[in-house]
């Protein structure tokens, strides 16, 4: 499957649009590229499918059957969607009958409004996008690349688009698409890359902030003048931090559940408990463990 290795791109002697891009689009995955207008998303996709060459670096591993849906499909054709798709199916190696019935099926599924027999050039933007999408999946592609596929499509076609992506990736193909909305990439992609200022970086799993309770135990010298034993506080279960608080005084923070055990150790080793307070802490955890034990 396609891999971009140290790819940089500029048009002519213009500015660098993309720099040192390392990206992999694995089999069975749906990879999104998120970024603002003009950040280079379309440029990147065109290099993935082979319509544009990197200025530096290489794109390797492109499979044999690649389908690409550009962000704008506005054919100035008198041909009807049905005739166009049947023709494209034949180019893809299908028989006329098989191509025509597949075209009918896909246009019905995508709810093409405006007529399968109207001229392509008369179609609205959204309907033209539906024809482009149908064209891309006449034959199941090994690599499906979609530039801003959600824009322009109506709500019913959104569901079909999501199904098509799942079908291709579920069959072991790879899917790549762009969008500028995080909600869309989160919902549909297994991995999202951010495209910004020429750099393309893999976004990690979303981090969430989790709050949890700790107990702060202030320890001091015993009033009777005895000397407490040395204790390796950091090795006791649940201890989060140990800090010196002046001569012979410590502040130990411990997870709530382990506070009693810590107090017991303190008292048994001759320390005096000066103060015990509860405090709230927050830390960032990954989505996958949110709701689990805070550590």
Ligand X SMILES: Nc1ncnc2c1ncn2[C@@H]1O[C@H](COP(=O)(O)OP(=O)(O)OP(=O)(O)O)[C@@H](O)[C@H]1O
CB of 75 to ligand X, least distance (A): 19
Using CB under 6 A as the binding rule, whether residue 23 contacts ligand X is answered as: no
Q: Which residues contact 91 (CB under 8 A, 6 or more apart)?
A: none
Instruction: Out of 21, 31, 43, 144, point to the residue binding ligand X (CB under 6 A).
Output: 43
State the residue for tokens 């279960």. Answer: 237
**249: burial class by Cβ within 10 Å (0-12, 13-18, 19+)?**
middle
Neighbours of 295 (CB within 10 A): 11
Binder to ligand X among 4, 19, 31, 40 (CB under 6 A)?
40
Q: How far apart are CA 252 and CA 244, in angstroms?
A: 9
Nearer to ligand X (CB atom), residue 17 or residue 266: 17
Judged by CB under 6 A, the chain residues 50 through 89 that form the site for ligand X are: 71
Q: Which of 25, 13, 14, 16 is nearest to 59 (CA)?
A: 25
User: Given the rule CB under 6 A, which of 33-41, 80-88, 135-143, 263-271 is the region that contacts ligand X?
Assistant: 33-41
Taking the CA atoms of residue 234, residue 235, residue 237 and residue 242 in that order, the dihedral angle to the nearest 10 degrees is: -10
- How many residues bind ligand X (CB under 6 A)? The answer is 11
Give the C-alpha separation, 113 to 123, whole Å: 9
Nearer to ligand X, 16 or 212 (CB): 16
For ligand X, give the closer residue by CB, 17 or 137.
17
Closest CB to ligand X among residues 44, 231? 44
Of residues 25, 31, 42, 184, which one binds ligand X by CB under 6 A? Answer: 42
Residues that bind ligand X (CB under 6 A): 11, 17, 35, 37-43, 71
């Amino acid at each position: 499957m396609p891999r971009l290795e140290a790819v940089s791109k500029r048009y002519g002697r213009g500015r660098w649009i993309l720099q040192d891009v390392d990206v992999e689009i694995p089999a069975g995955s749906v990879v999104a590229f998120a970024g603002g207008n003009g950040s280079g998303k379309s440029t990147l996709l065109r290099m993935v499918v082979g319509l544009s060459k990197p200025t530096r670096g290489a794109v390797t591993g492109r499979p044999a059957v690649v389908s690409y849906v550009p962000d704008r499909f506005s054919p100035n054709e008198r041909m009807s969607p049905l005739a166009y798709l049947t023709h494209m199916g034949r180019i893809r190696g299908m028989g006329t009958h098989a191509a025509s019935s597949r075209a009918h099926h896909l246009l019905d599924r995508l709810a093409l409004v405006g007529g399968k027999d109207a001229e392509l050039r008369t179609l609205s933007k959204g309907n033209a996008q539906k024809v482009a999408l149908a064209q891309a999946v006449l034959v199941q592609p090994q690599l499906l690349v979609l530039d801003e596929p959600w824009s322009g499509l109506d709500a019913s076609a959104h569901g079909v688009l999501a199904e098509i992506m799942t079908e291709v990736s579920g069959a072991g193909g790879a899917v790549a698409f762009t969008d500028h909305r995080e909600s869309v990439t989160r919902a549909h992609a297994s991995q999202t890359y951010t495209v910004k200022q020429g750099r393309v970086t893999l976004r990690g799993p979303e981090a969430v902030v989790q709050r949890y309770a700790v107990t702060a135990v202030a320890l001091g010298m015993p009033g009777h003048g005895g000397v407490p034993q040395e204790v390796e506080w950091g090795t006791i279960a649940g201890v989060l931090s140990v800090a010196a608080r002046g001569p012979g005084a410590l502040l130990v923070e411990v997870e709530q559940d382990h506070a009693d055990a810590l107090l017991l150790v303190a008292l048994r080793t001759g320390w005096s408990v000066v103060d015990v307070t509860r405090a709230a802490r927050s830390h960032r955890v990954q989505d996958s463990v949110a709701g689990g034990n805070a550590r």
